[in-house]
Amino acid sequence: MRKNDSITGSFDWILFGLYIVLVVFGITTIYSVTYNPENPSIFSFSEMYGRQLFWVGVSLFLGLLVFLIDSDIYRKFSIPIYLFCLALLVIVLFMPPINGARAWLGFGSFGIQPGEFAKIGTAILLSSYMSSFNVKQQNGRTVLVSLAIIVVPMLLIILQPDAGTFVVFTAFFFVMYREGLTFDPIVLKVVNAIPGVKFRSTWLGTHFIPILFVVIFLLIITLIISHTTLTFEAYPGEEFSGYWRMFAALVVTALLGYLIMRSLFPKREARRALIITIIGFSMSVALTATVHATFESLPPHQKTRIELWLGIYEAEEGTGNVDDGADYNRFRAMTAVGSGGFTGKGYREASIANTKTNHVPECETDFIFSPWAEERGFLGSIFLVTVYIFLLLRVITIAERQRSKYNRVYAYSVAMILFYHFAVNVGMNIGLVPIIGIPLPLFSYGGSSMMAFSIMIFLLLKLDSQRKDVLN
Amino acid sequence: MNFDSRKYVIISFFIITGLMYGIKLFYMQVVDTDTWKLEAQRIAEKRIEITPPRAVVFDRNGNKVVENKTYYNLMMVEEDMIDFDTVAFGKLIGMTKSEVLERIEEIKDGEGKYYNPHTKKKQSNYQRIRRYPFLKELTTDEMSKIAPHLDGFKGFYKEVTSMRNYPYKSGANILGYLAEVNQAEIDRDKFYKPAYKIGRAGIEKTYEKEFRGEKGVKYIVTSARQNTVGSFEDGKFDTTAVQSKGIVLGLDIDLQAYGEKLMQNKKGCIVAIEPSSGEILAMVSAPTYDPNILVGRKNINEHYPKLVEDLNKPLFPRPLASEYMPGSTFKLIQALIGMQEEVIKPSTGFPCNKSVVGCHNHAYATSVTEAVKHSCNPYFYAVTRRIIQQGKHKSSFKDSEIGIDIWAKYMHSFGLGVKLKTDIYGLRSGNIPDSKYYDHWRGKGQWKFSAIQSISIGQGEVQLTPLQLANVASIMANRGWFYTPHFVKSINGQGPRREYTVKNRTMVDSKYFPYVVEGMRRCVHEPGGTAPMARIPGVVTCGKTGTVENFKLVNGRLIKRPNHSVFIAFAPMDNPKIAIAVFVENAGGGGGTWAAPTASLVIEKYLNGEVKSEAKEKRILDAKLSLWQ
């Protein structure tokens, strides 16, 4: 049935190109960050860059393998693959902890993180399951099964504990949302219980998941921005309090959001964009005020606990060095980013974010955006952000052109996982997101993440290249 | 149902996130980048200042007068202190356990306090990983006892530092001393940091900038644990520290030491100048102290209060700051002014009229030269009267006003009544009264020469410092001009300050000097002269004695105290090599009794390199005069 020329004929070179760009810039950044003059060769295996290069090689090999295997295999074996991932997640709990988490499965001197691969297993099974019924057959049972597929590995992961990967799994909720999962019946039940009210559907119930995430994000960002120890003077002598800055940010976001929605929505829904903006904005302001009031009314020890989690805790006065505060990591990363300036300090000239000075911890993995931004400046960082946004939009484009629901669900899974990693990683480097340790996809040092993301993307390329063969 | 439009929600998420991050990045990296750059500098770059050792000092013969000696600080880093045995450590350094712990506490909250402008409070910026001096300024001996055992005490290190040393133990008042800078000095001059040393007196103070040299700066990149990672941009901005090549004084340290020895058990001073250059050869202030006792914090704390409380005031630089009446030495200048103003001729004689002012018995002074030789009081009374009251105004009061201002101008040209620009702090100008001065004290039009006549013989309101008087001797030696007396002969091999190469001319013409100088010679060498004890075999010395009456206010009454013995001289008469002024306070007797022989011994030592007049020397060395015991 399948034509042999389909391998190259429908290959998405743009996605592949973006993949290569990120991998290449990633490895050059790792080279710069961990450069050791004693082993200057990028192939020296005793250095991180040598090892990362090796992992890139392995990843390309695995990607090729994935590409050569008939994609139906994954669909057919989705349950065994998923169970295999779960088994690894269980086994890893019996391994000795590294840095306080049992996330590593050791094979000799190498270790892999099953958590990274579990995302693929979950994505495949979720796609397979969700494509087994159509929208009209969607009911409470299908929702529960879908949720179970996502939640089981999440529970195993939080046992490690690995908060970062745990959070990433919530990306799948967006996939479910795209495929029509709705909380409207529940919301309607509540709303229609009010006498005299009779809605057929509610906006809140329909878009429950994105709204929930916007709310959570705003909540976090409100606390971070308004409680951060970093203060800036707008102009000499005039310091703005955190909440005023928050309000300004909301106004800007609302305006931008409206403009974007106007351009994206079909003409007839222009009014809806305005309504969404107004409602969203008023709710955000109300939320900000509520968060502020609530936060301020909390007992001090609870406040401290929240501040610690957000990474905005300031060392108490008199306890000595403010550098020891929990704000340390984020503040150092932000220093690296901010000090990069417009054009950057130059390749291998980063003074804050490199492993030699170690002012930014983990700057080859979780904080790798900071050396990039320090070396390449605003031009470089805006370039990288743009590349990631293009990558995401490309995956969405690919997702939307699939004929099969299986392919589409999988593609959305990839898009959302990539988005989470990108948004959290870059966000914490610029002080917008709490410190959650997850790698920057295809960029950070680390074999497991490199292999997992490569397999994920090559599988997508494979599915996409065969999209025309699928009748369903 | 069709859920395709939901893709727009997700796409919006992506784009809004991208935009938000873009805006935040723009704000951080473009708008606010300076704040972050400053922060990055604070975190990762360390500017290390390298302070060069202070300049060493040589005397005119190349002897090292001030040098740097190595000392040690015992440094402490709390972070590295593991299994700290306080008892054993205390034993090693001679402290009790509680003293050791106390010192650590003291370091923790005391050392390195800084003012935090945000909290508006003084805060300790103590850090466990930084080095702090546990014990300061240990000598090599003290350190050699501790150092071998330091391996047993983790977190303690020795650090080399340097302090001043004075091998000759002389010249304390000239050289001055160092002390730690105070906050005001740190605020004024960026060069200084807490615990830096600064010149507090003497030439160490005057030439502070030359002494301290130029700082070098090294920029390094530091890691989060404060370790040095490398030089910043390959040392592109680094500069090297430049130590001053050394400061050469006009001082003759052997002569200085000899002078101090002669002045032992006496109060007073000796100032010797090389007339041809204005370089100060010796400046003795007696009593003095060994400059080594004011080296280092420990020593200063111990000795400084004692020196301050000493009734003989060893810290007081008498040659610069003590204002004495010059007595008869002043007559030399009166004679010169008289001749220049043409109110007398070199051959003018005046009778020794003791009814005006007292005098001793001597032959009739038939000329200026003879008058100087005999130091005739009535003669100079007459001379000064003619200078002050020249008949330029018909009122003798007004006439005196005009006259004294002319006279004061002459005096100023001799460096009297004005501050000499000598390169040392603590100079005083002495007092040369003028019309304003007397108007103030006596009332305008209320005085004329007869009221102020004691100035004619260097008593009354006239006051000079010994340095000024030595400069007068120098002027006599040069027959009418002088270089401002100064200590530093050469800085960095480039000669003295520019102002010391400018000849100052007095208002008296050179042609009048020989008459006075001849009088000075006779004063020493001819029978009937006042200073026979100043004779040195084989040397023609010109000198002039002074005997200064002085009073002290005791319980509201002026009590007459023993006379100050004063002598100024230069030698040899032709091509003079040394000009000198000697004051011996409350010595009793006249200028010829104590000051003249002391001066002659210094001159002999300087000109001949050794002193053969042993009896004279013994007499001076043995004398104990007027000291508070």
pLDDT at A472 (0 to 100): 46
pLDDT at B180 (0 to 100): 83
Q: What value does the mean pLDDT of chain B take?
A: 87
Q: Tabulate helix, strand, coil % of chain A (nearest 5).
A: 65, 5, 30
Helix (H) / strand (E) containing B116: strand B113-116
Q: Are residues B124 and B221 in the same domain?
A: no
Q: Indicate the SS3 state at residue A407.
A: helix
Half-sphere exposure of B624 (CA within 13 A, CB side): 3
- Mutating which of A359, A367, A369, A409 best tests the B interface, going by the most B Cβ atoms within 10 A? A359
Q: Are residues B138 and B52 in the same domain?
A: no
**Residue B85 reports pLDDT greater than 70:** yes
Q: Which of B215, B249, B283 is the last residue of a domain?
A: B249
What is the CATH number for B242? Answer: 3.90.1310.10
| Whether the Cβ atoms of residue A60 and residue A67 lie closer than 8 Å to each other | no
Q: Are residues B104 and B175 in the same domain?
A: no
**Residue B100 reports pLDDT greater than 60:** yes
- Tell me the backbone φ, ψ of residue A317, rounded to 5 degrees: -60, 140
pLDDT at B140 (0 to 100): 84
Q: Are residues B529 and B494 in the same domain?
A: yes
Range of the domain at B99: 71-165
**Residue B270 reports pLDDT greater than 90:** yes
pLDDT at A322 (0 to 100): 42
> Considering only CB atoms, which chain B residues are within 8 Å of A419?
13-14, 17
**Residue B213 reports pLDDT greater than 60:** yes
Range of the domain at A412: 6-134+171-180+327-469
Q: What is the CA radius of gyration of chain B?
A: 34
Q: Which of A311, A345, A365 is the last residue of a domain?
A: A311
Q: Are residues B590 and B537 in the same domain?
A: yes
How many domains is chain B partitioned into structurally? Answer: 3
Whether residue B399 is contained in a domain is answered as yes
Q: Are residues B192 and B323 in the same domain?
A: no
Give dist(CA A108, CA A85) in Å, integer. 20
Q: Are residues A237 and A331 in the same domain?
A: no
One DSSP character per residue, B458-494 reads: T-TT-BB-HHHHHHHHHHHHHTSEEPPPBSEEEETTS
Q: Are residues B426 and B371 in the same domain?
A: yes
Whether residue B322 is contained in a domain is answered as yes
> Considering only CB atoms, which chain A residues are within 8 Å of B13?
210, 419
* Region A153-182 average pLDDT: 88
Q: Are residues A341 and A457 in the same domain?
A: yes
Q: Are residues A187 and A175 in the same domain?
A: no
Q: Are residues B160 and B226 in the same domain?
A: no
Q: Are residues A358 and A214 in the same domain?
A: no
pLDDT at B82 (0 to 100): 79
* Region B314-340 average pLDDT: 92
Whether residue A149 is contained in a domain is answered as no
- Mutating which of A218, A352, A413 best tests the B interface, going by the most B Cβ atoms within 10 A? A352
B17 vs A317, A340, A423: nearest CB: A423
Q: Are residues A43 and A124 in the same domain?
A: yes
Whether residue A140 is contained in a domain is answered as no
Among A190-204, A233-247, A378-392, B291-305, which range has the highest average pLDDT? A378-392
Digit-coded pLDDT (tens) for A219-267: 777 776 665 544 444 444 555 566 676 777 778 888 888 888 777 777 7
What is the CATH number for B347? Answer: 3.40.710.10
B25 vs A317, A412, A430: nearest CB: A430
* Region B538-542 average pLDDT: 93
Among A323-337, A347-361, B348-362, B379-393, which range has the highest average pLDDT? B379-393
Question: A104: pLDDT confidence band, cut at 50, 70 and 90?
Answer: confident
**Residue B557 reports pLDDT greater than 90:** no
Cβ–Cβ below 8 Å for A339 and B224: no
> Considering only CB atoms, which chain A residues are within 8 Å of B32?
232, 338
Q: Which of B137, B165, B193 is the last residue of a domain?
A: B165
Q: Are residues B221 and B361 in the same domain?
A: no
CA dist list (Å): A293 to A31, A211, A286, A308, B624: 47, 21, 11, 19, 88
- Token couple for B450: 């007869």
Task: Tell me which residue of B518, B509, B331 sits closest to B413, measured CA to CA.
Answer: B509
Whether residue B111 is contained in a domain is answered as yes
Residue of B nearest to A256 (CA): B16
How many domains is chain A partitioned into structurally? Answer: 2
More reliable by pLDDT, A280 or B324: B324
**Residue A197 reports pLDDT greater than 70:** yes
Q: pLDDT > 90: what percent of chain B?
A: 41
Whether residue A234 is contained in a domain is answered as yes
Q: Are residues B421 and B538 in the same domain?
A: yes
Whether residue B142 is contained in a domain is answered as yes
- Mutating which of A136, A351, A354, A387 best tests the B interface, going by the most B Cβ atoms within 10 A? A351
More reliable by pLDDT, A77 or B157: A77
pLDDT at A26 (0 to 100): 95
Q: Please, which residues bridge with residue B69 across strands?
A: B163
Question: B556: pLDDT confidence band, cut at 50, 70 and 90?
Answer: confident
Cβ–Cβ below 8 Å for A260 and B15: yes
Q: Are residues A460 and A331 in the same domain?
A: yes
Whether residue B312 is contained in a domain is answered as no
Task: Tell me which residue of A251, A238, A244, A211 sits closest to A225, measured CA to CA.
Answer: A244
Whether residue B19 is contained in a domain is answered as no
pLDDT at A360 (0 to 100): 84
Question: B507: pLDDT confidence band, cut at 50, 70 and 90?
Answer: very high
Q: Are residues A117 and A190 in the same domain?
A: no
Q: Indicate the SS3 state at residue A154.
A: helix
- Mutating which of B16, B27, B29 best tests the A interface, going by the most A Cβ atoms within 10 A? B29
* Region A287-313 average pLDDT: 68
Whether residue A151 is contained in a domain is answered as no
Question: What ipTM was estimated for this complex?
Answer: 0.86
Digit-coded pLDDT (tens) for B106-127: 888 765 565 555 556 666 667 7
Whether residue B275 is contained in a domain is answered as yes
Question: Nearest 5°: CA angle at B503, between B501 and B504?
Answer: 130
- DSSP H helices in A170-299: 171-178, 184-192, 203-206, 208-227, 242-264, 270-297
Specify whether the backbone of A170 is left (phi greater than 0), alpha (psi in -120 to 50) or beta.
alpha
Q: Are residues B92 and B215 in the same domain?
A: no
Establish if A316 touches chain B: CB-CB under 8 angstroms.
no
**Residue B90 reports pLDDT greater than 70:** yes
Q: Are residues B193 and B82 in the same domain?
A: no
Q: Are residues A398 and A300 in the same domain?
A: no
Give dist(CA B3, CA A179) in Å, integer. 7
Q: Are residues A272 and A290 in the same domain?
A: yes
Cβ–Cβ below 8 Å for B17 and A321: no
pLDDT at B481 (0 to 100): 94
**Residue B472 reports pLDDT greater than 90:** yes
Chain A residues 381-410 with CB within 8 Å of chain B: 381-382, 385-386, 388-389, 392-393, 396, 399-400
Number of inter-chain CB pairs under 8 A, A vs B:
154
Distance between B273 CA and the closest CA of chain A, angstroms: 59
Give dist(CA A309, CA A303) in Å, integer. 10
Residues 6+ apart with CB under 8 A from A252: B23
Digit-coded pLDDT (tens) for A367-391: 999 999 999 999 999 999 999 999 9
Q: Are residues A352 and A260 in the same domain?
A: no
Whether residue B188 is contained in a domain is answered as yes
Question: B626: pLDDT confidence band, cut at 50, 70 and 90?
Answer: low
Task: Tell me which residue of B191, B211, B192 sits closest to B201, measured CA to CA.
Answer: B211
**Residue A91 reports pLDDT greater than 80:** yes
Cβ–Cβ below 8 Å for A351 and B45: yes
**Residue A71 reports pLDDT greater than 50:** yes
Q: Tabulate helix, strand, coil % of chain B (nearest 5).
A: 40, 20, 40
Lowest pLDDT segment from A371-385, B47-61, B277-291, B500-514: B47-61
Q: What value does the mean pLDDT of chain A take?
A: 82
Distance between B230 CA and the closest CA of chain A, angstroms: 10
**Residue A293 reports pLDDT greater than 80:** no
**Residue B290 reports pLDDT greater than 70:** yes
Residue with tokens 């108490």: A316
Q: Are residues A240 and A333 in the same domain?
A: no
More reliable by pLDDT, A349 or B379: B379
**Residue B48 reports pLDDT greater than 80:** no
Q: With helix as H, strand as E and coil as C, how does B548-614 read?
A: EEEEEEECCEEEEEEEEEEEEEEECCCCCCEEEEEEECCCCCCCCCCHHHHHHHHHHHHHHCCCCCH
Give dist(CA B431, CA B452) in Å, integer. 14
Q: Are residues A304 and A364 in the same domain?
A: no
Digit-coded pLDDT (tens) for A400-434: 999 889 999 999 999 999 999 999 999 989 888 88
pLDDT at A229 (0 to 100): 47
| Whether the Cβ atoms of residue B69 and residue B164 lie closer than 8 Å to each other | yes
* Region A118-137 average pLDDT: 89
